[in-house]
Amino acid sequence: MLINIHKLVSNIPIISFLLLFPGFFIYQMLLSQSQITGFLGGYFGYMSLILFIPLILVFLYHFINNTKFFAFIDYFFIFLMLYIAVIALYHFSFGRLANNYEMLEWSISGIIFNIECYVIAKFSDFENSIFKKIILFLFLYISFIYLINLDKGVMVILNLGNIDLVSYQGFARSIVIHASLLIFFLKSNLLRLLILLLAFWILITLGSRSETIIFFLSLSIVFLLNSVKSLNGIILALVLITVSASLVISNVSSVMLFFENTRFYEFFTVGIFNSSSSSARALFLETATQYIYESPFFGNYGAYLFHFGSIGAYPHNLMSAWLNLGLFGFISYIIILFRLLQISLKRLLSNSSPFTLFALFASIFIVLSFMFSKSYLFMFFGIAVGACSNIFLRRN
């Protein structure tokens, strides 16, 4: 039997999505309940290595056969990933961080994650009916096993001694991309509402404050931008905002009780900018700014490792790109982010297809993430670039 190469290439990205995101959440949930051993470590790293070659072959297949579907943003993204790799390898070989495998692994793994997410978002047919049924089933299954393991309204990791367990942010990352695809590609408004409520419940009880707030803001902005295209949309948006605000105001005590056992409660007691995480991030940013001032053109690669002794002490915003990659790297990111918003917003004016709305959501999400919480290697950057490029591929 002859292998249908085109069909095989078409299926690899959506299968990769299932393995990387829903698969990750299920694996980590089972691991946290000691129902399986950590045979794949933390899962995402090993699975990314397994999928890297197939996804690269998908990219090369399309690049050779469909070059008209590759534009400036695709070439610039790939160039930027190669540039980051060169910077990381240079400093590993000759810089102050020579032979620092931790920093090299952080950089290379971030590049791999972004490239894979780019290929998945660019070449996946998210409107495939079988794919939508599978991810809907998996999301409902994930929600069920998650909610039955809540203790006093919060998620409890029972097997705290397992080094392969990830933080709440890893869980949140999976939920955000999984839920957003369902919200934009499902046709049933009732199912969309259910997915939205479940997603927020999971994110809030996980305690993933940045992901939850940015997820909510991104969805709200997309909804509002799409609504203002028509008078009926504007009226609907105003009604929904009014009703939502009224419900929250009239049930303040219940809302506070819901948040009491979560990490969000700190925001209500001390304020967002006075929370422990905000204070730490402010210190990281202040320190990074000082190092950038010392070398504004070339940056000061990994200076936070020497200053704080931790690889996680980078500035939690796009200033991390300026610090590690220099002014050229920082400006390159700004150019791509501007182009992402330009592509998705321009397309929205003529077509509100699920692909367009998802691309706009991904673009807004990564811009807000780079402003408030994530480093330049956050994998949703690859998702945003791929999603915007997918608009050209689908032509809808």
Q: What is the pLDDT of residues 218-265, one digit of tens each?
A: 999 998 898 877 666 566 666 666 665 665 566 556 555 566 666 665
Burial class (CB in 10 A: 0-12, 13-18, 19+), 34: exposed
Task: Confirm if 21 and 177 have CB atoms less than 8 A apart.
Answer: yes
Percent of all residues in the chain with a pLDDT value above 90, rounded to a whole number: 55
- pLDDT recorded at residue 174: 93
pLDDT category, 88, cuts 50, 70, 90?
Answer: very high
- What's the rounded mean pLDDT across residues 361-375? 95
Task: Confirm if 203 and 174 have CB atoms less than 8 A apart.
Answer: no
Number of domains in the chain: 1
pLDDT category, 18, cuts 50, 70, 90?
Answer: very high
Continuous H helices in the chain: 5-20, 22-32, 44-65, 72-93, 101-123, 129-147, 168-185, 189-206, 209-227, 231-250, 252-259, 265-270, 276-294, 303-308, 319-350, 354-372, 380-394
Percent of all residues in the chain with a pLDDT value above 70, rounded to a whole number: 82
- pLDDT recorded at residue 159: 47
- The parent domain of residue 193 ranges over 5-394
